[in-house]
């Protein structure tokens, strides 16, 4: 019940926060997540499932109370053998309730409460899934944006080298073959820039589709400048992350509740061996064609009764139901183990990827610095005629490759670090 109140409160706050500006002019990670949590179709379906289970819980609780129904019937008879037609009426109010059913109603109420709670965890899981998807797509956009910048800078250098090479060719300082290499490199760099720009556009489109925005909606993504502080954040131990996730991840909690639901289903099935005792009561009256008032008064009757239904032979129906429920309970326990193992596998992968990416980033950063120094020296030597065009372009491409490797490690580290935060039920923060 507490978790339901918390969820409703969070959803209410989220609704209030998005009412004033449902579609932000600029989309940072927080805006993307908040908008998706409010508008994602899958999350909306999960909310409806939660409401449906809430209605089922109310219905299960109402089964402990007696029912009440009224019956009114009227008849008219046209008989050719009597001098006058006749009509009559019957009126009754009836009620019944179950006195004893082996605890089936009580167990059904408990079961519905657990099912409602499980749907709350399913809603939380849907929210976590959309957060993960948006996080990954948003970071892909940041990665692509930085890649575009690197390629833009590379194109500028290539164009400068081609222009300078044209002058050297006219002066007879380089051969036509060398100049052709410069032209080819410039064309290649421009092509790579186009590829990077297309990748950025596709990633933005993917985010737009993930947010389920209309075709006419603009998506102005905030491009953040992330630093080493964001990349090289210290990580807790793998064991502590997994231990925390076992207590916080909604998939685990939902699987545990499924075991309890299955156990109650087994107990409910066993009540089929027990008798059912019901109480019924009613009051009614009838009248004929004449003296309606007197007949209604004199025809008034009251009835009360107790019925006992004792199962004797049910064609193995009850036994089969119990056996199936026990098997379902075993399956639920195996599902929990499977969910825990899947969670461990996902956390181990994210943890290892984060550790590896941090190490690769640190190494790539040093390599970029070294290659930048080396390239600057070769560029100076090239101007003096001490290095040829092939050596210059080779070193330039080595530098570009190192920059791309560093960029890839950077965003892999950030992404997996944030995923580990989600597994620990911590907020995503990229500023």
What was the pLDDT predicted at 429? 77
Question: 111-134, pLDDT tens digit by residue?
Answer: 999 999 999 999 999 999 999 999
Neighbours of 397 (CB within 10 A): 15
The secondary structure element, H or E, covering residue 111 is helix 104-171
Q: Which band of pLDDT confidence, cut at 50, 70 and 90, is reported for residue 84?
A: low
Is 263:127 a contact under the CB 8 Å cutoff?
no
pTM: 0.83
Domains of the chain, start order = 2-39+101-274+311-423 (1.20.1600.10)
**DSSP single-letter state for residue 86:** E
pLDDT at 227 (0 to 100) = 87
Task: Flag whether pLDDT at 415 surpasses 90.
Answer: yes
Which residues contact residue 222 at a Cβ distance below 8 angstroms, ignoring those fewer than 6 apart?
Answer: 26, 27, 28, 29
pLDDT of 427 over the 80 cut:
yes
3-state DSSP of 208-261: HHHCCCCCCCCCCECCCCCCHHHHCCCCCCHHHHHHHHHHHCHHHHHHHHHHHH
- Encode pLDDT of 252-276 as tens digits: 999 999 999 999 999 999 999 999 9
Residues 314-320 have a mean pLDDT of 93
Length of the chain: 431
- DSSP assignment of 355-385 equals HHHHHHHHHHHHHHHHHHHHHHHHHHHHHTT
Higher pLDDT, 397 or 11: 397
**135, 428 contact by CB (below 8 A):** yes
Q: Which tokens hold the place of 2?
A: 């507490």
Overall average pLDDT of the 204-222 stretch:
93
Residue 175 main-chain phi, psi, to 5 deg: -85, 170
- Cβ distance 225 to 143 under 8 Å? no
Does pLDDT of 98 surpass 90? yes
Q: Over pLDDT 90: what percentage of the chain?
A: 78
DSSP class of 27: B
Q: How many CB atoms lie within 10 A of CB 297?
A: 11
- The C-alpha atoms of residue 267 and residue 288 are separated, in whole angstroms, by 52
Q: What one-character DSSP code corresponds to residue 413?
A: H
pLDDT at residue 90 above 70?
yes
Q: How far apart are the first and last CA of the chain?
A: 35
pLDDT at position 9 is 47
């Amino acid at each position: 019940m507490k978790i339901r109140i918390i969820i409703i409160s969070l959803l209410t706050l989220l609704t209030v926060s998005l009412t004033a500006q449902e579609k932000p002019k600029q989309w940072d990670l927080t805006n993307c997540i908040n908008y998706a949590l409010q508008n994602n179709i899958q999350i909306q379906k999960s909310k409806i499932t939660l409401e449906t289970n809430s209605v089922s819980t109310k219905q299960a609780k109402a089964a402990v109370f007696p029912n009440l129904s009224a019956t009114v019937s009227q008849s008219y008879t046209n008989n050719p053998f009597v001098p006058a037609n006749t009509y009559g009426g019957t009126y009754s109010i009836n009620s019944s309730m179950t006195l004893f059913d082996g605890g089936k109603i009580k167990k059904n109420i408990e079961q519905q409460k657990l099912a409602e709670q499980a749907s709350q965890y399913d809603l939380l899981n849907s929210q976590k899934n959309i957060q993960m998807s948006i996080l990954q797509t948003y970071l892909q956009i940041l990665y692509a944006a930085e890649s575009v910048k690197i390629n833009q800078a590379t194109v500028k250098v290539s164009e400068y080298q081609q222009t300078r090479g044209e002058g050297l060719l006219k002066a007879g300082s380089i051969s036509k073959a060398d100049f052709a290499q410069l032209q080819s490199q410039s064309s290649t760099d421009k092509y790579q820039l186009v590829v990077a720009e297309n990748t950025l556009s596709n990633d933005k489109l993917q985010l737009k589709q993930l947010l389920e925005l209309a075709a006419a909606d603009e998506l102005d993504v905030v491009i953040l400048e992330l630093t080493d502080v964001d990349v090289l954040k210290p990580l807790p131990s793998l064991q502590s992350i997994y231990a925390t996730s076992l207590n916080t991840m909604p998939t685990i909690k939902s699987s545990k509740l499924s075991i309890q639901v299955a156990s109650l289903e087994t107990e409910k099935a066993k009540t089929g061996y027990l008798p059912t005792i019901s109480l019924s009561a009613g009051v009614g009256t009838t009248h004929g064609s004449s003296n309606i008032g007197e007949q209604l008064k004199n025809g008034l009757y009251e009835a009360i009764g107790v019925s006992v239904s004792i199962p004797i032979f049910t064609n193995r129906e009850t036994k089969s139901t119990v056996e199936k429920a026990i098997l379902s309970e075993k399956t639920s326990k195996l599902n929990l183990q499977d969910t825990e193992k899947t969670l461990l596998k996902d956390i181990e992968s994210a943890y290892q990827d984060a550790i590896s990416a941090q190490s690769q980033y640190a190494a790539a950063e040093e390599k970029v610095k070294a290659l930048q120094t080396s390239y600057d020296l070769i560029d100076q030597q090239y101007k003096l005629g001490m290095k040829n065009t092939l050596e210059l372009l080779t070193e330039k491409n080595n530098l570009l490759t190192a920059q791309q490797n560093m960029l890839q490690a950077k965003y892999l580290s950030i992404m997996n670090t944030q995923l580990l935060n989600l597994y620990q039920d911590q907020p995503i923060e990229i500023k």
